[in-house]
A and B are shown apart, each in its own frame.
Chain A
Amino acid sequence: MHPVTVVLGKEVRDAARDKRALLTAFLFPVLSPLLVYFMMTAIIELQTDADKMTIPIIGGEHAPALVQWLQEQDVHLEKFDGDAKQVVRDKDKELVVIIPDDFQQKFGELKTVQIEIVSDGSRTDSQPKIRRVHDLLRQYNQEIGALRLIARGVSPDVTRVVMSQHIDVASKEQRAAMALNFIPMYIILAAFVAGMGIAVDSTAGERERKTIEPLLINPVERYQIVTGKWLAATIFSAIGMALTLVLCIAAMGQVSLAQIGLQFHIGNGQMLSMLLATLPLAFLATSMQLLLGIFAKSFKDAQSYIGLLVLLPMVPSMYMMFSPFATQEWMFAIPMLGQHLLLVDVLGAKEVPLIGYFYSAISCLVLSMALVLITARLFQRESILSG
């Protein structure tokens, strides 16, 4: 048996018996899809709430035409009596629409009618609803206004100086993918979380438990020992990542995205593409952790370093969420950013250039091999025995 295989086999067996480390490693892949599910469901509920809404109205009987028009726009009106300001302040209602008594009279005299919308500006969750009511009233305004002009022989275009039309170039899948930006982040995070326990245990743990000296007395090259440990940690990292990926996608399948007009379909081919895109990251994540683990004097030391390391993969994801940019080919070559871009594109059903997979895989593997070599050099130092 090759020494690398011997070390690999031992580390995998050792780690598989470490129940606490396993729990931390695989809690994340199980929890993240749940998070995805509940977050998406919450988003959809917010959206559909705004679409099919119920509006409390005072004085609806004074404006039967408006009430009927609103009902035609899928708005459910609910008659309300009482102190509008108080119920909104008490957060019993998100908003109340008040129609004045003299609506019909002013309407007939072609005077402007004041319709009051009582709302609480500090409540962010009611904003879509309020915006919708404003939009509806503006639309009603335009329709009636246009009819009045036509009746006087004036083209309604006279009052329309400019008109905006919104053209969204994102495909529906892409819009879904934007909403799903956190799935790539979870998958990338999983690479770091799932391999962490074994990477730390097989480096800092080996020093702390004083097994490193007996191990290094064996006639094996140091780089072979490090490679065995690296591959063992990579197996765990890859399993964690694949599990997160599959479960997150499965969770998305359970969310009724059609309700908000989004399409989301991931076939086996896309699943495979995503696995291929992210696999090199498992090698990189664990090589970073091994290096930090060997630097650290103790288990605790290592875990605090590696805790910070987990923030690293979040940088590109966060950056993309807050300031999206156009993808350039060279960007695939930046580890972690490359994987993130690939995942977003595959999720968004966009054609991904093959060179993207190539760049991101090569850069990850080259960087991780360099880190493994550095770790092997550190294993060769005499001071590895102390502390």
Chain B
Amino acid sequence: MIEVKSLYKSFADIKAVKDVSFTADNGQVTGLLGPNGAGKSTTLRILYGLLTQDSGGALVDGIDIKSDRIGAQRKIGVLPDSHGLYIRLTAREHIHYFGRLHKFDEDKLEFQTNELIKLLGMEAIADRRVEGFSQGERMKVCLARSLVHNPPNVLLDEPTNGLDVMTTRNVREIIEELKNKNIAVLFSSHLMHEVSRLCDHIVIVSEGSIVASGATDEIRNTADEENLEEAFVKLVEGGID
């Protein structure tokens, strides 16, 4: 479970995150929705311990990230904004590297790696060096390495950005699967249809603040719109005014 309480974060003069609060429960998919530059990535980066908030609290399974970064990081699997890979390592070596950094049991690492390779359908590329991988193949490696340690919470920053239809569908299936395993999934997106399809709970942010939050149907009601996309636009524009 991820709890965010009244989070604030500024860079120089820019207030990137203002009073953001929400909860991502276990077995639920929570969507952080907002246009580019709304503060989604900043919020996530605070949650996975690469940025420190100016004020407010961020807890992962009850562990305060600010005071126990490493303890909190053990409880999360993250697909961050940057999808960089080590071009001279194979897909399997990437998964191993991250598994070992998480001190994942060495005896079970190979089994776990094979499970992930099967889950993501990357058997054919597992032992190839990642140089020259397609966008979708790279994304699979990133996903696999972030899930190798069986994290109870998963954070995904724009997971389907730039992916083709097939890989996007693959990512959606994985999100469903994580949800069924009672994992708390928090993902950010600027794509309305994606969020409406997958999420149980939506948090809409604009210019660093929450403009609406609640179950998917509730959001629709707040904006008094049938179509979620219309609701989104209305809420975001309302936030700007």
Q: Which residues of A are interface residues toward B (Cβ below 8 A)?
A: 1, 3, 6-7, 10, 13-14, 17-18, 206, 209-221, 382, 385
Contacts and interface: CB of A to CB of B under 8 A. Distances in A.
Max count, chain B CB within 10 A of own CB: residue among A14, A215, A218? A218
Interface stretch (B94-102, B183-191, B224-232): B94-102
Contacts of A211: 82, 84-86
A6 B100 contact: yes
Interface string B121-146: 00000000100000000000010011
A218 B84 contact: no
B49 interface: yes
13 contacts: A3-B103, A10-B86, A18-B88, A211-B86, A212-B84, A214-B98, A214-B142, A216-B50, A217-B49, A217-B78, A219-B101, A219-B103, A220-B101
Interface centre among B51, B78, B82 (most CB of A within 10 A): B82
A124 to B, nearest CB: 50
Nearest to B72: A219
Nearest to B73: A219
Given A214-B142, A214-B145, A221 B70 contact: yes
A218 B98 contact: yes
A323 B91 CA distance: 56
Contacts of A221: 70
Interface in B87-122: 87-89, 93, 97-98, 100-103, 106
Interface string B58-92: 00000000000111011010101111111111000
Interface residues of B, number: 35
Given A17-B88, A214-B142, A217-B78, 13 more contacts: A3-B103, A6-B97, A10-B86, A209-B86, A209-B87, A210-B84, A211-B82, A213-B50, A213-B84, A214-B84, A214-B145, A217-B50, A219-B70
A18 B82 CA distance: 23
Contacts, number: 79
B237 to A, nearest CB: 30
A210 B83 contact: yes
Contacts of B86: 10, 14, 209, 211
B23 interface: no
B52 interface: yes
A14 B83 CA distance: 18
Nearest to A208: B84
A213 B82 contact: yes
Given A218-B73, A385-B50, A14 B89 contact: yes
Given A219-B73, A221-B70, A213 B101 contact: no
B48 interface: yes
Nearest to B52: A382
A218 B52 contact: no
Given A214-B142, A382-B50, A13 B93 contact: yes
A161 to B, nearest CB: 77
A272 B84 CA distance: 43
Contacts of A10: 86, 89, 93, 97
A211 B80 CA distance: 10
B81 A213 contact: yes
A302 B212 CA distance: 45
Nearest to A386: B11
A146 B45 CA distance: 96
Contacts of B89: 10, 13-14
A375 to B, nearest CB: 17
The 9 closest A-B pairs by CB, nearest first: A210-B84, A211-B84, A210-B82, A219-B73, A218-B101, A17-B88, A6-B100, A219-B70, A213-B82
Given A3-B101, A13-B93, A210-B82, A217 B48 contact: yes
Contacts of A219: 69-71, 73-74, 101-103
- Please indicate which of the listed interface residues A210, A213, A220, A221 has the most CB atoms of chain B within 10 Å of its own CB: A213
Contacts of B70: 219-221
A382 to B, nearest CB: 5
Nearest to A15: B88
A18 B89 CA distance: 10
A11 to B, nearest CB: 10
Given A13-B89, A14-B89, A382-B51, A217 B80 contact: yes
Contacts of B84: 206, 209-214
Contacts of A382: 50-52
B126 to A, nearest CB: 17
B142 to A, nearest CB: 7
B170 to A, nearest CB: 20
Nearest to A224: B101
Contact of B106 (A1, A13, A14, A216): A1
Nearest to A214: B80
Contacts of A215: 101
Contacts of B93: 10, 13
Contacts of B76: 217
A225 to B, nearest CB: 9
